Amino acid sequence: MEQPKGVDWTVIILTCQYKNSVEVFQRELEVRQKREQIPARTLLLAVEDPETRMGSGGATLNALLVAAEHLSAREGFTVVTSDVLHSAWILILHMGRDFPFDDCGRAFTCLPVENPQAPVEAVVCNLDRLLDIMSYQLGPGSPPGVWVCSTDMQLSVPPNPGISWDGFRGAKVIAFPGSMAYARNHGIYLTDSQGFVLDIYYKGTDADIQRCAKPDGRVPLVSGIVFFSVETAEHLLATHVSPPLDACTYMGLDSGARPVQLSLFFDILLCMARNVSREDFLMGWPPEMGQGDADIKGYLQVARAELWKELRDQPLSMAYIPDGSYSYMTSSASEFLHSLTFPGAPGAQVVHSQVEELQLLGAGSSVVSCLLEGPVRLGPGSVLQHCHLRGPVHIGASCFASGLDTAQVEALHGLELHDLVLQGHHVRLHGSSLRAFTLVGRLDSWERQGTGTYLNMPWSEFFQKTGIRNWDLWNPDTPPTERCLPSARLFPVLHPSRALGPRDMLWMLDPQEDGGEALWAWRTSWRLSWEQLQPCLDRAATLASRRDLFFRQALHKARNVLEAHQDLSLRPLIRATVHEGCPRPLMAMLDQVAAGTGDLGVAARVLACVADVLGYMAEGRGGLRSGPAANPEWIQPFQYLECGDLAGGVKALAQERDKWLSRPVLLVRAARHYEGAGQILIRQAVMSAQRFVSTEPVELPAPGQWVVAECPARVDFSGGWSDTPPLAYELGGAVLGLAVRVDGRRPIGARARRIWEPELWLAVGPRQDEIATKIVCRNLEDLQDYCQPHAPGTSSILAGTALAALQRAAGRMMSTEALIHAVLYLEQVLTTGGGWQDQVGGLMPGIKVGRSQAQLPLKVEVEEITVPEGFVQMLNDHLLLVYTGKTRLARNLLQDVLRSWYARLPAIVQNAHSLVQHTEECMKAFHQGNLPLLGRCLTLYWEQKKLMAPGCEPLAVRRMRVGGPGPCLWN
């Protein structure tokens, strides 16, 4: 399905607090630019916040300054000017705070969804979904300006949210419906009847919440999405030179200004709300800042005064999307698990993962980007992400596991986990790369508070059960209110004598088992709290590890798809490997499959996949994929294949391939030769039809006596292309056609006679007594161009008449069934390809259906169709033959069709099945003598043929069809 037109972003900025990860996220944006086909002219920037706690408002102002600076530089200005905003669509995405369930934050949290229509295979992160929503649902139709979107929530937006931009100025917030109960811990908008925002409440009173309620009882939630018009964005940008707001930007920080923390909604936007007075605004305190001393409040008042001066006159309106949904990604494990699972679902949601034993996955669970080998049991409501596990492993109900691989599997043997969160982390300490593991309970609280639980039990119970003491986790001077899970030094990262693994945390579940050795090992380890661990997380290594695992499971998937003859397209995966710069492992796996299979169909499809890899590596710069494939350098690999040595041929192909990877033009030429190699295998598969060819001796004609064979032309009414190898033996073919005379004559024929000279005379002409071309062959070398499709020759029906005449002249005779298969064999020898519908249509009389089963050897069977009396004459009265004067070489179309079929493009696969199924409907029309139904069948069939081979309808034919009364046949 074609992607709807989206916003052509001028700048996309991703802000983050992680100063050591900006380059990592910049690369992730660039990967998405290529993957999502974001135009190269779009500026993609990962920008670090000047300070860790800048707040969403400060991060927005800094990002806006960076965008204006880059656009100004691109336009040749030497200073920042807001003029560049007037023709720009800018998207600012805020990553927000740390997230306990993903080392790369909420933006890169993977979701259990996939898009089968996506051109590139990839795990879907929350960032991807939000970028898609902003580009194709919320953004379209908006004027130039600045969109700001947080990545700390999950959204669902209808295709047409109905946002009005008529007469818009100022800023517009996007709100989604929520319950009154949810609003007690969230932000909501109060608006007037025209949609202008009067106030913004956070954790408001019941009266405040009731005041905001809609007629259906729901309230508009603050969603983290806002749009600033160019005028408003200019006013906001102007504050970056005014103290203390200058400290929100990197320029102010570089100038030594004191940092200030600002909220986007409760500082910048709140001053634009109509019911908010200046006095209340200056004395207010943004809720995301927590508590602060009087000095900070005074500094914030000065900042708010500047915002009031610049923005107060700008209107603030709200767009409410009642059919959408909003969910903040909290630090509650229970809520996070609920957002990734499917309660009530009968099975598991398995996304971009390879699982050997699906029946072991519990109801409602989800598995994302995992490779599970052997018996890996997953309980209901549990989530696995980025794990490579080899069973036996049992993870029970309501668990979340991430970042585990086979090196840690032994620690899980014999355990059954319940209500737990087990994660593996990539850590960098003093230049060394380490693995650390964290284990927490599903019900544990990540809030900083003096009470709480760990491993789903009160701290006192945990201390008693494990032998761990208060002083093991916190310093003696740590206030009781600060003794909480985020600050507890629970997680070992380094041990003086051995590598660490999950067992260094899992022992806490059953501490009596080892007699205290695990406690001692834990105590003698260098341990960090969750807060101390965050700055040490190696996000580059984390994303690289996820990418590596994704491709490992993808290679397993590709192998399974090929070996099991599945109709799944591998092109999205091929594009992904090329975009990520790692096509060689994929080609190596494809070589293994091709060399190891005994199935010619599988091997041919694999070689077509290698050709696709090479084609995509050329990135559209090496010329057309269709072209010659007979370079002398490739002769040896082809000879191996011709001799039936598949393994030797695949090895020789790979060795030659390595010499052709340096330039796009060489890559495309190599792709052509891989398609040529695939044609050899197709030819060998189709040649299996030779077993259905037999002849019988007959009386030998006298020398000089002509033997004449004549055939009608043919018209196909349904199923064409399904007869073409490999579709004919992989899908199974069914073509309905009929034999027709032209001007009362059989227009196609051949005659042969024996002559005394040891020569072969070949004469071709439009009529029997008119010879246009005459060729004399005196030795075998004169026949060596038989495999060149551009050499003199023509249709399959003519080949049938020629074979019949030659056989009879030589004293042999074939049945019509044998002749059909002989022509099929001959066309493979000639390398023109093609299927069997021509010879079935022309060599068999009347109206008939030809069929071939999805199997080898390829055998064609023909069924005659009976029609009501008088229907043939009625049909003759409604058929008109129009010569267009347009010629085509069937092989050119054939290459494109085979390429699409081997890629198993969903539209082509569906259309191919439809071609076969539609033949049965067309048979009914003939059996019933139903001419209107037959017309409808023809109209549908022509659309099917155009979908199968785009470009097969010349402009002249299209014009005739537009001006004509009904369906038109052309071939």
pLDDT at 157 over 70: yes
pLDDT at 430: 87
The helix (H) or strand (E) run that includes residue 426 is: strand 420-429
Cβ burial, residue 191 (10 Å; 0-12/13-18/19+): buried
**pLDDT band at 2; cut points 50, 70, 90:** very low
pLDDT value, residue 298: 78
The tens digit of pLDDT for each residue in 228-270 reads: 999 999 999 999 888 888 888 888 777 777 778 889 999 999 9
SS3 368: strand
pLDDT at 638 over 70: yes
Q: Residues 484-490: what's their mean pLDDT?
A: 95
Rounded CA-CA distance 306/322 in Å is: 35
Q: Which fold has domain 696-948?
A: Ribosomal Protein S5; domain 2 (3.30.230)
Does pLDDT of 971 surpass 50? Answer: no
- Long-range contacts (CB closer than 8 Å, 24 or more residues apart) made by 813-817: 813/695, 813/696, 813/697, 813/698, 814/693, 814/694, 814/695, 814/696, 815/694, 816/843, 816/844, 817/692, 817/860, 817/862
Structure token digits, residue 109: 């949290």
Which amino acid is present at 559? R
User: Hey, is 393 helix, strand or coil?
Assistant: strand
Picking from 187, 226, 427, the residue whose alpha carbon sits closest to that of residue 314 is 226
CA gyration radius for the chain?
36
Give the model's pLDDT for residue 970.
Answer: 37
Comparing CA positions, the residue from 530, 528, 526, 656 lying closest to residue 591 is: 656
Tokens, residue 952: 């097969």
Residues 789 and 895: their CA atoms lie apart, in Å, by 13
Q: Which of 607, 738, 631, 613 is nearest to 684 (CA)?
A: 607
Average confidence (pLDDT) over 271-293: 79
H or E element, residue 971: none
In eight-state DSSP terms, residue 687 is G
To which residue do tokens 């101390």 refer?
A: 532
**C-alpha neighbours within 13 Å on the C-beta side of residue 606:** 33
Query: Which comes out higher in pLDDT, residue 137 or 961?
Result: 137
- Cα(57)–Cα(260) distance, integer angstroms: 10
Q: How far apart are CA 136 and CA 119, in angstroms?
A: 16
**The pLDDT value given to residue 800:** 86
212 token code pair: 């905001």
Distance CA 919, CA 94 (A): 55
CA atoms of 364 and 345, how far apart (whole Å)? 5
Banded pLDDT at 968 (limits 50, 70, 90): very low
Q: Taking the CB of residue 745, how many other CB atoms lie within 10 A of it?
A: 12
Pairing outcome for strands 371-373 and 354-355: parallel
Say yes or no to pLDDT of 50 above 90.
no
pLDDT, average across residues 120-128: 95
Give the range among 221-230, 674-683, 821-830 with minimum mean pLDDT. 821-830
pLDDT of residue 447 exceeding 90, the answer is no
Q: In what order do the strands lie in the sheet containing 371-373? A: 354-355, 371-373, 388-390
Instruction: Look at residue 466 and give its three-state secondary structure.
Output: helix
Taking only the tens place, the pLDDT of each residue in 812-838 is: 999 999 999 999 888 888 777 678 999
> DSSP for 943-962?
HHHHHHSTT-S-HHHHHHHH
Identify the pLDDT of residue 20. Answer: 80
User: 32-46, 278-292, 517-531 — which is least confidently predicted?
Assistant: 278-292
Q: What is the pLDDT of residue 1?
A: 39
pLDDT in tens, 338-394: 999 998 888 899 999 999 999 999 999 999 999 999 999 999 999 999 999 998 999
CA distances from 207 to 178, 210, 271 (A): 16, 5, 22
**Distance of alpha carbon 516 from alpha carbon 507, whole angstroms:** 10
Helix extents (H) in 618-753: 635-642, 646-657, 664-686, 727
On the question of pLDDT at 882 being above 90, the answer is no
Exposed (0-12), middle (13-18) or buried (19+): which is 800, by Cβ within 10 Å?
A: buried
How many Å apart are CA 508 and CA 402, to the nearest integer? 19
- Residue 107 CB coordination number (10 Å): 25
DSSP β-bridge partners for residue 429: 432
Q: Is the peptide bond before 220 cis (omega within 30 degrees of 0)?
A: no
Residue 344, pLDDT score: 82
pLDDT higher than threshold 70 for residue 789: no
Given this model, what pLDDT does residue 829 score? Answer: 80
**What is the C-alpha to C-alpha distance for residues 723 and 728, in angstroms, rounded to an integer?**
5
Q: What is the pTM of this model?
A: 0.87
Cβ neighbours around 167 below 10 Å, total? 5
Provide DSSP, 512-553: TTTTTHHHHHHHTSEEE-HHHHGGGB-HHHHHHHHHHHHHHH
Q: What percent of the chain has pLDDT above 90?
A: 69
Tell me how crowded residue 968 is: count the other CB atoms within 10 A of its CB: 17
Specify the length of the chain in residues.
971
Tell me the pairing of strands 383-385 and 145-150. unpaired
> Could you give the CA distance from residue 428 to residue 436 in angstroms, rounded to a whole number?
10
User: CA 23, 29, 35, 40 torsion: positive or negative?
Assistant: negative
Which residue in 441, 407, 447 sits closest to 424, CA to CA? 407
Q: Where are the domains of the chain?
A: 11-174+223-276+314-322, 333-537, 565-690, 696-948
Task: Choose between 613 and 343: higher pLDDT.
Answer: 613
Beta strands in 821-927 (DSSP E): 847-852, 860-864
pLDDT at 173: 98
Say how far apart CA 773 and CA 394 lie, in whole Å: 77
Statement: residue 60 has pLDDT above 60: yes
51 vs 810: CA distance, rounded Å: 93
pLDDT in the model for residue 256: 74
- Number of other CB atoms surrounding residue 815 within 10 Å: 13
DSSP characters over 784-845: GGGG-TTSS---HHHHHHHHHHHHHHTTEEE-HHHHHHHHHHHHHHHT----SHHHHHHHS-
Look up tokens 């937006």; give the residue: 157
Q: How is residue 369 annotated by DSSP?
A: S
d(CA 171, CA 147): 10
In the predicted structure, residue 29 carries a pLDDT above the cut 50: yes
Residue 804 has pLDDT above 60, yes or no: yes
pLDDT surpassing 60 at residue 34: yes
Q: Which of 500-514, 675-689, 919-933 shows the lowest mean pLDDT across its residues?
A: 500-514
Q: Is the confidence at residue 969, as pLDDT, over 60?
A: no
H helices of 470-626, in order, are: 470-473, 503-506, 517-523, 530-533, 539-563, 571-579, 583-596, 600-617
Q: Is the pLDDT of residue 788 over 70?
A: no
Q: What's residue 431's pLDDT? A: 86
